[in-house]
Amino acid sequence: MTSRARGLAYHGQPMKGLILAGAVSAGLATVSAIQMPAATWADWQPTIASAIAPSARSSAQPQMTVSPRGILLSWVERAGARATLKFAERTATGWSPATTVAAGDDWFVNWADVPSVLRLDDGSLAAHWLQKSGTATYAYDVRLSYSKDDGRTWSSSFTPHHDGTQREHGFASLFQMPGAGLGLVWLDGRAMGSADGHDAHGAAEGAMSVRYGTFDRAWKQTSEMPVDLRVCECCPTTAAMTSDGPIVAYRNRSEDEIRDIYVARLDNGKWTEPKPVHNDNWKIAACPVNGPMLSARGRNVVLAWFTVKDDVGHAYAAFSADAGRTFGPPVRLDGVSALGRVDVALLPDGSALATWIEFAEQKSSFSMRRVDTSGRMSPITGVSQISGARASGYPRIAVHGDEAVFAWTENVSDQASIKTAALSLNAPRGSAR
């Protein structure tokens, strides 16, 4: 069994349909969801409204990024062997029309390792996707491109890595570097001994690493360096920008196969020694394909992740008030158990909206709850029923202004399509607009 197959150990049954949290009575007091008093937390019942997605029917791999201008949603549409990366922008009236970034017949399209589109501070757009570099199964590169005219035209693609190996390069996380251009981290398999499969991920074959690169505003590469030279092979990375600089998180891999979540910070141009957010001590001899997610505002940081205890999966969140130097105790998010695939978005008051796939009574659901630094939590809200199989991918949440946006993949009769929904954070008790 390969490591990617082992990542399917926690799956629910395929399901379909949208569950929306119940509407709140108009007679209840008006309370902003962004600034909830203590008495409101226990009975917060947000109403999440379905929003027409901008994608075509044959679409999957949703990703959302946030800039001062708003939320971008990207996805991949398939037509036979051809894959097309598209994106749309959230507006006051819904999603903008879809815009095409790039397309190819030689892409590596994966349920967990997804492309992205990010708007930078100067208004330009950066995008990434994965493209095959050889005939071996896992021989592929991270390809980058940029647009200076709001997506109408795009540059020729290029790579942030220059090792020349036909190995895995993926799970990239893009972010704005302060006062500069693009920063990103990715998983880099240049030291691994095989690109034919993940059975060869033993220490003797070399290890997967996390690497970091930057580009200036003229798109000249200004750095490439390692962050950690031994990490889990196929769990997504995540990055966020604090007022002290970038912080990244990923699943580590110790010599004795402990695979806990680690963080590192860029300090004076160098990456700090990576350290665990919490010593879960999850020992697993294969990659669970379940990465963490970060969100930051100023020096406040929240991190969500998945781990397994006593053969049961759970989702957790932890907060930091010092830009990720230290984290508070973990807060369990799920009600019964979780399949993971977490996401999280920090709110202006320091609390966060966290999402994950809940698994209970042999059913899986895309779930959300609000949590704060004291460990206080709202009840769990079901965003949608969702398949626990890999085809459902990673559901997403993003927050901009007074709106939280959700995106996920629905599979009906083997047809994948992106679904989106929205929650107004300034409406009475979080009801939808």
pLDDT of residue 414: 84
Measured CA to CA, the distance from residue 428 to residue 433 in angstroms comes to 10
pLDDT tens-place string over residues 267-276:
999 999 999 9
Mean pLDDT of the chain: 89
Q: Residue 228 pLDDT more than 90? A: yes
Hunting for tokens 């990720």 — which residue is that? Answer: 324
Q: Residue 393 pLDDT more than 60? A: yes
Query: Average of pLDDT values for 355-371?
Result: 97
pLDDT of residue 37: 74
CA separation, residue 379 to residues 81, 293, 367 (Å): 43, 21, 10
Q: Which option is the CATH number for 3-424: 3.40.50.300, 2.60.40.10, 1.10.3720.10, 2.120.10.10?
A: 2.120.10.10
pLDDT of residue 413: 84
Q: Residue 255 pLDDT more than 50? A: yes
Query: Average of pLDDT values for 221-244?
Result: 97
Q: Residue 35 pLDDT more than 50? A: yes
Note whether 159 and 141 are within 8 A (CB).
yes
pLDDT tens-place string over residues 114-154:
999 999 999 999 999 999 999 999 999 999 999 999 999 99
Query: Average of pLDDT values for 332-338?
Result: 98
pLDDT of residue 179: 87
pLDDT of residue 205: 64
pLDDT of residue 41: 83
Q: How many CB atoms lie within 10 A of CB 320?
A: 22
Query: Average of pLDDT values for 303-319?
Result: 98
CA separation, residue 137 to residues 2, 169, 172, 184, 207 (Å): 12, 12, 18, 24, 17
What pTM, to 2 d.p., does this model score? 0.90
Q: Residue 10 pLDDT more than 70? A: no
Q: Which helix (H) or strand (E) holds 377?
A: none
Q: Residue 176 pLDDT more than 60? A: yes
pLDDT tens-place string over residues 182-211:
999 999 999 997 655 554 444 446 899 999
Q: Residue 1 pLDDT more than 50? A: no
Nearest C-alpha neighbor of 7 from the set 313, 240, 261? 313
Q: If you count DSSP H runs as helices and E runs as strands, how many of each does the chain have, helices first?
A: 2, 29
**Buried b or exposed e, range 400-418, using 16+ CB within 10 angstroms:** beebbbbbbbbbeeeebbb
Measured CA to CA, the distance from residue 417 to residue 310 in angstroms comes to 35
pLDDT tens-place string over residues 70-121:
999 999 999 999 999 999 999 999 999 999 999 999 999 999 999 999 999 9
Q: Residue 292 pLDDT more than 90? A: yes
Q: Residue 20 pLDDT more than 90? A: no
396-400, strands of its sheet edge to edge:
49-51, 415-424, 403-412, 396-400
CA dihedral in degrees (149, 153, 156, 162; nearest 10)? 40
Note whether 238 and 204 are within 8 A (CB).
no
